[in-house]
Structure 1
Amino acid sequence: MNNVNHSSVDYLVQLSCGYWKSCILFAAVEFDIFTLINNGKHTRKDISQSIRSDERATEMLLNALVSLELLTKQADRYDNSQISELYLVKGKPYYQGDFIHHLHNIMENWTMIRETIETGKAVSLKDLPEEVDPHDLRDFITAMHAIASVKTEILCSKICLQEAKTLLDLAGGPGTYAIACAKANPQLRAVVFDLEHVVKLTREFIQAAGVEDRVITQAGNCLEDSFGENAYDAILASNLLHIYNPENNRKILKKCHDALRSGGQVIIHEFVLDETRTHPQFAALFSLNMLIGTQEGASYSESEYRAWLENTGFKDIKRIDLVSNSSLIIGKKIL
């Protein structure tokens, strides 16, 4: 009789039901349970009345959140755990509910993974309307601001902009990084470059940050439009190149080289694969996410980024790993 490795079987079970945990978190965020608890609703009765839900079912959800260490429980009282208090209470500086909501929104795309693998095409894009839904766009840009907000301090500390006077934040979305870089470097002026319907929202984030005098927007398409000639001391391409294929990425980086002054730097911020293309795990999974959700996107390795930079004229290329699954790959324009 063969011995059963129960830990291996349990690993497969945990892997198979992993989406249970995601769905519990998604429901809690949609109900805004963590904010309710922060505001004084601590019992199953109080919470179920606040969200107009079944009390027994609400208790099950709350107990599951305790098991996930997102809540604590003493007798009949529920409280937020430290992580929930910091990141899941609406109105807190690093609130991540908007980003979690975005991941909830794209969950259905992952149910199409088999057909996507069979065809090699993003099935989720097949029936999308030509016009971008304003509500969906605001959800996405707000989500990108949420996840960027927890990375701004470490990113700004790792890039040297003390001598830079101009920064281009390419496809910068909410402009979170441009705003943070401008605040950290008083001499810096920044331009957030993105599509016309995006920069309308970007201006709201710039205004809220009170940096309208030093951070502006420019509408454009990074594949179709020029970024200028010898115009910038630094260009940030954060979470952009994973959307495109290698040919288009070389095209974007060539335009970055043209737009930089001599001595300027391009700063790529991405989830970088190792040379086996299997690790880190998040980058490998994210590559599938790009297959499912974009026309030609993927995660790429350091050697690929280096080759594109070298082919487009960049020198002194270096990599800096951040603490949050992502890395910076920086190249300089040296004439």
Structure 2
Amino acid sequence: MRAVVYTNYGSASELKLKNIEKPQPKADEVCIKVFAAEVTKADCELRSFKFPVKWFWVPLRLGLGLFKPKRQVLGGYFAGEIESMGDKVTRFKVGDQVFGSTQLKMGAYGEYICLPSDYTIVKKPHNIDFIQSAAVPLGGLNALHFMRKAKIKTGDTVLINGAGGSIGTFAVQIAKSMGADVTAVDSCIKEAMLRNIGADHFIDYNDKDFTKDKERYDVILDMVAQSSYTSCIGVLKPCGRYLLGNPRISDMFRSVFSSWFGDKLVIFAFAGEREQELVELKDMIEAGTIMPALDNIYGMEQIVEAHQRVESEQRLGIVVLSLDKQQAGIN
């Protein structure tokens, strides 16, 4: 089978399209023919081993490869079709169209992947294609997790810092579905896209620092690792909630004291990416409440450009890798 492989840490040019052995499912696994996979910022960070949150570096290097990657096929979020399965699998059948997460196994940049059947894998929404479905799990699961942690009520003012990424675009839509008034913060090139998916207000971070404005918010979801903790806390209303999407270890310690001794709640709990939550996202998509905001679709031969697009921060939504040109309509 074909797969995008990297054998050394480095730039996007390390990614190569190669033929590798097709995996075979174990007794409790499903073998999925992958039609599409999201190209994520995490993929780029794992490939280069450059992380905005530095404390991830040591445990990941030890777990994923000290000098070169142990898992050489990236890709954590996918959509595809069940091709075969082990004899202990009962929750799927051959031909089921599914989407989900590979968790730390990665591997969705390959035409086939074998995963335990109890992973976060569910039938894809019937009203969107494989390309769109692959763009849902990362952003959708994390955004749903954070917005529920925030306990948003109708009329709450919600600011999303870094709103133009995978998580941010879903957070805008989910917050709106909960009745919030949403302010999106990102680069000016993303304003039209973010307003189109529901943002009520937009702030270009190159033009204005929202932490120095007089506006106050009930909830801030902060996806920017370099943000000032103190400044963000300062623009919360009394009893406001500050959600850290890319927490520094120092911010984690500070959050305990802020929550115990102040009137602001700081949350950095990571999403569990549970099956039930993905089912809920599927239902929301089928009801038309949310939709993935797509930027570009790339073929496997264009993987270097896909990674460069994600790293450039110029993308207007989610970047998807198509492993099947017919499914994606790529010539």
Instruction: Tell me which interval the TM-score lies in, with the shorter structure as reference length.
Output: 0.3 to 0.5
Q: Choose between structure 1 and 2: higher helix proportion.
A: 1
More relative contact order, 1 or 2 (CA 8 Å, 6+ apart):
2
TM-score between the two structures when normalised by the length of structure 1: 0.41
TM-score between the two structures when normalised by the length of structure 2: 0.41
Q: Choose between structure 1 and 2: higher strand proportion.
A: 2
